[in-house]
Amino acid sequence: MIVRVNGVEIGAWNGETVASVLLRAPGAGRGSTVSRTPRLPYCQMGVCFECLVTVDGNASMQGCLVPVAPGMRIESQHGPREISK
Amino acid sequence: MNADVIIIGAGVVGAALAYGMALKGKRVVVLDGADRDPRAARANFGLVWVQGKGSDAPAYSALTRQSSDLWPVFRNELSTVAADRVDYERPGGLVYCLSETEYANRAAINERTHNQGAQADTEMIERGALERMLPAVGLGPDVVGASYCKLDGHVNPLQLLAALHRAIMLLGGKIEFRSPVKGIVPVSHGFRVIVPHGELQAPRVVVAAGLATPALTEPLGLAMPMKSERGQILVTERIAPILPFPGSGLRQSADGTVMIGATNEKIADTSVTAASATKLAQRATRIIPALGSARLVRQWAGLRVLPLDKTPIYAESADYPGLFAAACHSGVTLAAVHAAVIAPAMAGGHLPEDLAAFSNGRFNVQKCA
C-alpha cells in the first residue's frame, strides 16, 4: 500500500505500524515535547512515547500502536500537542 | 555510634529533615522502607499550598505560610547542592468553584482563615476575571469563579525527592534503601535501631516513617495518632501550556502533563478504580471541556498520612530524650520549614516552645461528658 509521510508517498506493508514506516522514511524524526531535540521511534511497544506523530490530522498518536492503512497521512509532530480552546 | 542522627523514613518528610541536618554539618543515616511500602512521597500531587490549610488551626496556618515563604530559597539551595533540576513555580493558585454553593463555601473558608489573623492573601475571583487569567482555555459553563491565593505554588514532587536524596549523599549523609526498621531500643546515651541485616546506633533518632510511624514509636510510649486516606490521581499526555496557575485538583507540570486529582477515600490499599477515574475526569472537563481531547497516560493511588486532627505532629519523647517523630499530610508544602526549622531543632535535642501546638500531647485531652 501507499501512505504519505510529510507529504511524500512511501510504500508500506499490511500489518506494519506507523512507527516502523517512520524509521525508514527520510527526515521523519520529531522534536521532543520537552526539549525539542530530535527523536525517532524507540521502544515499539507503547511505553516510551518517542514515536508521537500526527495521523490523519490527529496529533500525539503513538505510532507504534497504529497499523498503517492505505492513503494514511502521517506528519511529524514537533513539540507538544496544542489543545484547542 | 554510626551517626549523629538516624532518620527512619526516606520519604519527603524524612529526607527534608535529614537534608536540613546535613546542611548543619550533622552526620545522618537515613533508613528507607521496603519496596512495597505505601510511599506517599512518590504518589502525591506536588502542590506547595497555603490556601485553606489550617483553616481551623491557626498555628498550622502560620507554619504553612512560613514554609511557603521559605520555599524559593529552599528550592534554589537544594537545586544547587544536589546539582539537580527541581521544577518549582509560585504564581499563586486557584480553587475552582463549579456552583454558587461551592463559591460561597470557599469564600467562607477564606473568611475564617483571615479572621484568625492571617493576612488577606486569598481572594475570590469571579468568572470574568478568571477567564482573563486563563486566556489559553475556555471555561466550562458550570464555572462560577475561583478562590485565588498569591502564595500558592507547585513543584515536581519526584524531582524534589530525588534532589533531597542526592543532596543528603553529597553532604556526606548515608541513605540505606530497603532497610525497614524492626524496632528501636533505648541504650545509654542513645538508641539501637534494628534493621534486617544488623543494627545502627546514634544519640538521636527521628521517626518520619509515614503510616509506619506509630508501630515504631508507640512501644516506646510515644503516641502518634494518625489515619490513612487514599487519593487517586490521573495524568494526561504532555500538551502545550494552557494552565499558568496550579489549582487544587488541576495543575500542568513544567513538562506539559496535566495532573488531575485527587480522591479522598477511606480505603487502605493503593489500587485504582474506574469509578474514581470517571469522577476525576468529569470534574476536570467541567472546568476545562477541551481537556476531554487530552489522552490520559497514567492513573495511580497513594495513601495520605493524616494526623487525626489533620495538623502536623512534631513529637519529642519525655521518657527517652533524643527520640523524635514527625508526621504530616503536607510533606511537600512543609519541606522548606522541615529543613530550615524542625531539622536543626531535632538535631539539637529539643523542640522549641513555639512548636508546642504541634506536640502529640494535644491528643491527651480527656473527653468531656
Per-residue pLDDT of chain A (85 residues; tens, 9 = 90+): 999 999 999 999 999 999 999 999 998 888 888 888 899 999 999 999 999 999 999 989 999 999 999 999 999 998 888 887 7
- Is A85 part of the contact surface with chain B (CB cutoff 8 Å)? yes
Asked if the C-beta of B136 comes within 8 angstroms of chain A's C-beta atoms, the answer is: yes
C-alpha cell of residue B347: 538535631
The verdict on a CB contact (< 8 Å) between A81 and B290 is no
Nearest CA in chain B to A46: B297
A33 to chain B: nearest residue by CA?
B238
Inter-chain contact A83–B294, Cβ cutoff 8 Å?
yes
Which pLDDT does position B131 carry in this prediction?
A: 97
CB contact under 8 A, A79 and B294: no
Residue B295 touches partner A, C-beta closer than 8 Å: yes
Q: Which of A79, A80, A83 minimises the CB distance to B293?
A: A83
Q: State the residue for C-alpha cell 488531575.
A: B260
Question: What's the ipTM?
Answer: 0.81
Q: Which of B137, B138, B237 sits opposite A81 (nearest CB)?
A: B237
Interface of B with A in 224-243 (CB under 8 A): 237-240, 242
Which residues from A are below 8 Å from B255, CB to CB?
A: 33-34
Calculate how close chain A gets to B236, using CA atoms only, in Å: 11
Task: Report yes or no: B292 at the A interface, CB cutoff 8 Å.
Answer: no
| H/E run at residue B103 | helix B100-115
Beta-carbon contacts of residue B317 (< 8 Å; ≥ 6 apart): B217, B220, B221, B222, B323, B324
* 3-class secondary-structure state, position A27: coil
pLDDT score at B119 = 61
Q: How far apart are CA B80 and CA B170, in angstroms?
A: 11
Classified as helix, coil or strand, B362 is helix
Which H/E stretch holds residue B23? helix B12-23
Q: Is-contact B96 B250, C-beta < 8 A?
A: yes
Tell whether A49 lies on the interface with B, counting CB pairs under 8 A. Answer: yes
CB of A32 within 8 Å of a chain B CB? The answer is: no
The beta-strand segments (E) located in A7-85 are: 8-11, 30-31, 38-39, 52-55, 58-62, 73-76
Per-residue pLDDT of chain B (369 residues; tens, 9 = 90+): 789 999 999 999 999 999 999 999 999 999 999 988 999 999 999 999 999 888 889 999 999 999 999 999 999 999 999 999 999 999 999 999 999 999 999 999 888 877 665 567 899 999 999 999 999 999 999 999 999 999 999 999 999 999 999 999 999 999 999 999 999 999 999 999 999 989 999 999 999 999 999 999 999 999 999 999 999 999 999 999 999 999 989 999 999 999 999 999 999 999 999 999 999 999 999 999 999 999 899 999 999 999 999 999 999 999 999 999 999 999 999 999 999 999 999 999 999 999 999 999 888 866 554
Question: Which chain B residue has the Cα nearest residue A58?
Answer: B293
| Residues B199, B200, B201, B204, Cα dihedral to 10° | -120
**Contact yes or no for A77/A60 (Cβ under 8 A):** yes
Q: Which three cell numbers stand for residue B172?
A: 556526606
pLDDT of residue B253: 96
